[in-house]
Amino acid sequence: MRNSTRRLALFSSAMLLAACSQQGTQAPVPANAGLKDIFKDAFRVGTALSPRQFNETDTASIALIDKHFNITTPENVLKWEVVHPTRGTFSYVQSDGYVAFGERHHMFITGHTLVWHSQTPRWVFEDTLGKPLTRAALLAVMKNHIENVVGRYKGRINGWDVVNEALNEDGTMRQSPWMRIIGDDFPIKAFEYAHAVDPQAELYYNDYNLETPAKRDGAIALVKRIRAAGIPVTAIGSQDHHKMDWPSAALTDSMFTAFRAANIHGNVTELDIDVLPRATNNNTADVAVRAQMQARLNPYAAGLPDSVQTALARRYGEIFKVYWKHRDIIDRITFWGVTDRDSWLNGWPVPGRTNYPLLFDRNGKPKPAYDAVVAVAGSSAR
């Protein structure tokens, strides 16, 4: 978009905000406000952080983070393989840096993720002779991990992804080592242990493709089982790793409607929109999926055509209208990265592609998608 057009779009957004605030739908925000202020009466706005950012070596990102975001997720440094790489060894160098950054920058700090089948070393599920653990032994390993990690940051990390991606696409429990060895109550035990260590912390169940009705219903059923055991669940985290054509706004709308009917808050925890051709024929965000590079899968290496830029803005606008509509049960919207340069989608499922999934370009400039998102705030989109 040309500069003059962009200025006009921003001016229009600001005027819209001002008009809506007069109708009492949203408190006034300054004209140069960032996302966190623009949406402050609706939900927090967040980003995933990598070491380059929380160690403040990527200085250009810091101003963007301060301006736009008030809640953070560590993209990788609180995963099991990083903090608890070998039996009896906890390594908090990176996660300490992440939490310190959040405190310095006055963020609501979340932790990701305590119990997941991925990025979890094999030793977790085996004894010292390489034999599979018993249920009791694996529960003890899980409890020890949670007590150490949650305990270290008690009162500082404000919310935890306790269990990540425990469901199959049909809503049944995934046959992960956690499930095979412990059984289908492993999420209940994980939430119980986390709650016992830090009763004040928010606790989330996090997964992708929850717009699929069967998987969504599986997540709701899982939360009901945990709650029935007397353990609080603050919200379901819907990752929202979207494609340009999937999921539809209607499916996303139905997901939040179903969450509301079940009295469960729904957060958006890993938002991005993949603009590149599909390299596989499913909608997964499973990190284990990989595909070979081919030229046709990387069409925008030299830059994003205006037509695709405009389509991305339209797509972000359509999704944000749904979020805005359901803002009473959405506590936060978190993007999976700050700028397009940071995105995991440059490397997955095909390594070495050039993707454009976020609101800020590789130079940290807001894209037309940013304006489309801002235009939703305070609108009467219902």
What are the residue numbers of the active site? 165, 270
Q: Does 379 bind ligand G3I (CB under 6 A)?
A: no
Whole-angstrom distance, CA of residue 139 vs CA of residue 133: 9
Of residues 64-93, which lie at the interface with ligand G3I (CB under 6 A)? 75-76, 79
Backbone angles phi, psi at 271, to 5 degrees: -70, 130
| Token couple for 138 | 């694996």
Q: Is 73 helix (H, G, I), strand (E, B) or coil?
A: strand
Residue among 324 and 336 whose Cβ is closer to ligand G3I: 336
Residue 164 or 283: which CB sits closer to ligand G3I? 164
Cβ-closest position to ligand G3I: 344
Q: Which is nearer to ligand G3I, 72 or 239 (CB)?
A: 239
Q: Does 331 bind ligand G3I (CB under 6 A)?
A: no
Write out the DSSP string of 117-143: STT--GGGGB-TTSPBPPHHHHHHHHH
Contact, 223 vs 265, CB < 8 A?
Answer: no
Closest to ligand G3I by CB, 101 or 324: 101
Smaller CB separation from ligand G3I, 79 or 216: 79
Axis-axis angle for helices 186-197, 135-152 (nearest 10): 30
Q: Rounded to whole angstroms, how far apart are CA atoms 2 and 18?
A: 24
Cβ(287)–Cβ(118) under 8 Å?
A: yes
Cβ distance to ligand G3I smaller for residue 33 or 114: 114
C-beta of residue 42 within 8 angstroms of C-beta of residue 330? yes
Asked if 285 touches ligand G3I (CB under 6 A), the answer is yes
To ligand G3I, the closest distance from the beta carbon of 346 in angstroms equals: 10
By CB under 6 A, is residue 229 in contact with ligand G3I? no
Q: How far apart are CA 293 and CA 179, in angstroms?
A: 34
Is 120 an interacting residue with respect to ligand G3I (CB under 6 A)? Answer: no
Residues 270 and 48 sit within 8 Å (Cβ to Cβ): yes
User: Do the Cβ atoms of 244 and 238 come closer than 8 Å?
Assistant: no
Q: From the list 120, 234, 239, 334, which residue makes contact with ligand G3I (rule: CB under 6 A)?
A: 239
For residue 371, what are the contacts with CB-CB under 8 A and spacing of at least 6? 6, 9, 10, 13, 313
Nearer to ligand G3I, 75 or 198 (CB): 75
Start-to-end CA distance of the chain, whole Å, equals 28
Query: For residues 79 and 289, what is the distance between their CA atoms, to the nearest angstrom?
Result: 19
> Looking only at residues 159 through 178 of this chain, which bind ligand G3I when binding is defined by CB under 6 A?
164
| Least CB distance to ligand G3I at residue 287 (A) | 4
How many of the chain's residues bind ligand G3I (CB under 6 A)? 10
Cβ proximity to ligand G3I: between 79 and 321 the closer is 79
**Residue 270 in contact with ligand G3I, rule: CB under 6 A:** yes
Q: How many C-alpha atoms does 123 have within 13 Å on its Cβ side?
A: 10
- Work out how close the CB of 272 gets to ligand G3I at its nearest, in angstroms, rounded to a whole number: 9
Cα separation, 205 vs 137, whole angstroms = 23
Give the shortest CB-118-to-ligand G3I separation in angstroms. Answer: 6
Q: How many residues does the chain have?
A: 382
Q: Least separation, in Å, of the C-beta of 381 and ligand G3I?
A: 28
Distance, in Å, from the CA atom of 119 to the CA atom of 113, rounded to the nearest integer, reads 10
Residue in 31, 287, 289, 291 binding ligand G3I, rule: CB under 6 A: 287
Pick the binder of ligand G3I from 43, 186, 344, 356 (CB under 6 A): 344
Looking up tokens 């400039």 gives: 365
Instruction: Give the C-alpha separation, 258 to 338, whole Å.
Output: 30
Using CB under 6 A, list all residues that contact ligand G3I.
75-76, 79, 119, 164, 239, 270, 285, 287, 344
